[in-house]
Amino acid sequence: MPATFTHSPAETERKEPGIGGKPPLDRRPTGGGGGGGDDDRQHERRGPRELLHKIRFSVFSILAADMMFFAILVALFFARQAGTHMDPRTHEQIGDWHPVLLPPILFLNTAVLLLSSLTIEIARRNIFREIDVLEEWLGLGHPALQRTLPWMAGTLALGFLFLIGQWVAWLQLIAQGFAFNHASTPASYFFYIITGLHAAHLIAGVIALAIILAIVRNFKRVELRQIAVDATAWYWHAMGLAWIVLFAVLVIGQ
């Protein structure tokens, strides 16, 4: 849904209600020169939207670099599968990749993360609801924020649940005899690296969600609340997409 920004009530002039009263008008710049009023008004309207686009561009640029990192990790994963060593008895090259049984809880974790991506998208859309944003600008409460916060809180809870599930998956893999140590097989080693690095990225997202939930009410400008929720949502979506790819790699590779 397109981002919707509305002028602050402080930027509008109102006339006393009555017969023939005019609707609120944007305050035009005063001072000498006289010309360019319409251009100035258009520039003011573009301000919050341009800030949102700049923040999105920065987030997408960082995420693009992050996705390249995960792509390199996937390439190393498949390259390591082709690794061989020489059997000292037969002097033949044999593969040293021994697949591990993936913990079944990973499938449940994947469903939880997909659900969290849905909840944060609902939160993102609610913070941009045009009629709610307009009411906030007019000082009629915080309807957009009230619709958004429960979905963000739900996303935070699902994020914690996913991380707990990943920890359980590691414990199950250790129970199979594949601990993360010097005796780790290449397959189990890559399992810990892939899932661990993704979990570290998701922890960053969980921290960002917790911070926003704690301070977003203190933001006086509506567009700042929108930008904070929007940037966090796109980061979360990227982590969900990254996990789908990484999980598919683990399933295929094992």
- Beta-carbon count within 10 A of 207 CB: 12
Q: How far apart are CA 33 and CA 37, in angstroms?
A: 10
Q: How far apart are CA 48 and CA 226, in angstroms?
A: 10
More confident residue, 161 or 216: 161
* Domain covering 62-253: architecture: Up-down Bundle (1.20)
Q: Over the stretch 100-146, which tens digit does the pLDDT of each residue have?
A: 788 899 999 999 999 999 999 999 988 877 665 665 655 556 677 78
Q: Over the stretch 1-59, which tens digit does the pLDDT of each residue have?
A: 445 554 444 444 444 444 344 434 344 444 444 444 444 444 444 566 787 788 888 88
131: helix, coil or strand?
Answer: helix
Which percentage of the chain shows pLDDT scores above 70?
67
Residue 94 has phi, psi (to 5 degrees) of -125, 150
Total residue count of the chain as it appears in this document: 254
Note whether 98 and 187 are within 8 A (CB).
Answer: yes
Among the listed residues 226, 194, 188, the one whose alpha carbon sits nearest the alpha carbon of residue 102: 188
Among the listed residues 100, 96, 102, the one whose alpha carbon sits nearest the alpha carbon of residue 82: 96
